[in-house]
Amino acid sequence: MSEKMWGGRFSLPTDKFVEEFNASVHFDNRFYKYDIKGSIAHAKMLAKQEIISTEDRDSIIKGLNQVLQEIETGKLEWKTEDEDIHMAVEKRLTELVGDAGKRLHTARSRNDQVAVDFRMYLKAEIIEIQALIAELLNTLMKKAEAEHEVMMPGFTHLQTAQPILFAHWAMAYFQMIKRDFSRFADCLERMDFCPLGAGALAGTTFNIDRHFTAAELGFKAPTENSLDSVSDRDFALEFLAACSICQMHLSRFSEELIIYSASEFSFIELSDDFCTGSSIMPQKKNPDMPELIRGKTGRVYGSLISLLTTMKGLPLAYNKDMQEDKEPVFDAVDTIKASLKIFSPMVEKMTLRKDKMEKSAGNGYSTATDLADYLVRKGVPFRQSHHIVGSAVAYAIEKGVDLSELSMDEFARFTDVITDDIYQYITVRASVNSRVAYGGTAESSVKEQIKSAKKFLNEIY
């Protein structure tokens, strides 16, 4: 005979390999706090609704708190035969309090139990992730403010395009990661509904109070459809999508840190405690932390694709396939949190090689657009001015000089519109500070971006 809690219908014990293949307790024990919290709320509701006695309620709550203590002190051993965290907790509870423990599962199923555990777990993790994001945002804002005058080249196609402020570059990543913060907030908003009480799929015949348990567990309301409640993993998919986009931003940021720390650029230097050396080349200082963050992005993407693939063909309601929802989420949680924990101090401690950055900002004829804009302001149509400046750049390349080094006679080869005031417009600093349009790279504009960033950070801290 089966010795499982659900074994009344079975005449044979579970095959040993099947038991191991079926069990999730060795990874879903991460839910233990939420499983116990959900069970306490359920017991309170059952007593309130006079489905169990107040004596059983008190016994259950006392027993569950003891189980919690045993888990947190390492006294409770996770056993494969217990299948999952829900059965492990209920089994130990029953050992402690007897028949009262057997009454706890009245009016609920493991289907709604795991759904509520999962949501509570992710709600807590999102809050922790948002705190780490806020820390990185604060670091970026402070770095931009401290280095607000430093210039650097801006790139398109990884070719020098136009000069920008380093602070403008840093605040670009601020905007990306700020969107990540709000994306997790959106995910949290849609996740904040309690599935407990949905039962296996159709609800329950008992007169339960789902609004009570939702409020007790910190949800804004219960879910509205019991069938959807136990079938839904959209909240986990949306969480993984938010993780994937955030990790992608960190990967792009990492890529630029790797490039800019290379000797060919030498724009920045990462602190020694965020780098490693070579086993054979004693001169090497490798940017392993940003490389690892860039590499781990594939893991987070894989978690999203894994769960999307699991869910894509499932009929309603719960199917055992859905046990495969947890490990990808756990891995993504661990990866995104570790990456964020590394990133903030790594950015804070990196140093700028300002002279190299500012010298490079003028390379590649980066002020050519400023010359074209100058001609437009003198009445030359933009397409014509574009052609004139292109010819001037070709000439300067041939001579091996910068545009700002051309004489008035040389400018006259291409147009008679240019006058002596041109040299006020085609320096790197003038180019940067002329871009005063909202969101531009001029120092005045970047200061407004920093001001806005401070306001946002004050709101979320």
- What one-character-per-residue DSSP string does 216-273 give? HTT-SEE-S-HHHHHH--HHHHHHHHHHHHHHHHHHHHHHHHHHHHSTTT-SEE--GG
Is the residue at 66 inside a domain? yes
The share of the chain scoring above pLDDT 90, in percent, equals 93
Domain closes at, from 89, 106, 123: 106
Residue in 366, 412, 374, 377 with CA at minimum distance from that of residue 392:
412
**CB-side exposure of 389: number of CA atoms within 13 Å?**
24
Rounded CA separation 148/142 (Å) = 10
Q: How confident is the model at residue 6 (pLDDT cuts 50, 70, 90)?
A: low
Domain closes at, from 360, 387, 404: 360
208 & 282 share domain: yes
Region 190-211 average pLDDT:
98
Domain closes at, from 318, 344, 360: 360
Is the residue at 1 inside a domain? no
**pLDDT score recorded for residue 27:** 94
The CATH number of the domain holding residue 375 is 1.10.40.30
Asked if the model's pLDDT at residue 280 lies above 80, the reply is: yes
**pLDDT score recorded for residue 13:** 78
**Catalytic positions, written as ranges:** 157, 278
Rounded CA separation 6/83 (Å) = 11
Place of tokens 């459809």: 225
164's enclosing H/E stretch is strand 159-165
Q: Does residue 352 sit in helix, strand or coil?
A: strand
97 & 175 share domain: no
Cα angle: 34, vertex 37, 40; to 5 degrees: 150
| 84-143 tens-digit pLDDT | 999 999 999 999 999 999 999 999 999 999 999 999 999 999 999 999 999 999 999 999
**pLDDT score recorded for residue 3:** 64
Helix H segments across 78-219? 85-97, 99-103, 110-146, 166-191, 210-216
Rounded CA separation 140/135 (Å) = 9
**pLDDT score recorded for residue 19:** 81
The share of the chain scoring above pLDDT 70, in percent, equals 98
Q: At what angle do helices 110-146 and 85-97 cross, to 10 degrees?
A: 120
Rounded CA separation 106/45 (Å) = 11
Tokens of 415: 């147009």
Is the residue at 207 inside a domain? yes
Region 237-246 average pLDDT:
98
| Total number of domains constituting the chain | 3
Rounded CA separation 155/97 (Å) = 68
Tokens of 267: 């724009």
Backbone angles phi, psi at 342, to 5 degrees: -75, -40
412 & 322 share domain: no
**pLDDT score recorded for residue 253:** 98
Q: Does residue 105 sit in helix, strand or coil?
A: coil
The CATH number of the domain holding residue 102 is 1.10.275.10
pTM above 0.85, yes or no: yes
Asked if the model's pLDDT at residue 21 lies above 90, the reply is: no
Residue in 118, 122, 110 with CA at minimum distance from that of residue 22:
110
The CATH number of the domain holding residue 340 is 1.20.200.10
Is the residue at 254 inside a domain? yes
351 & 378 share domain: no
Domain that holds residue 141: 111-360
Neighbours of 427 (CB within 10 A): 17
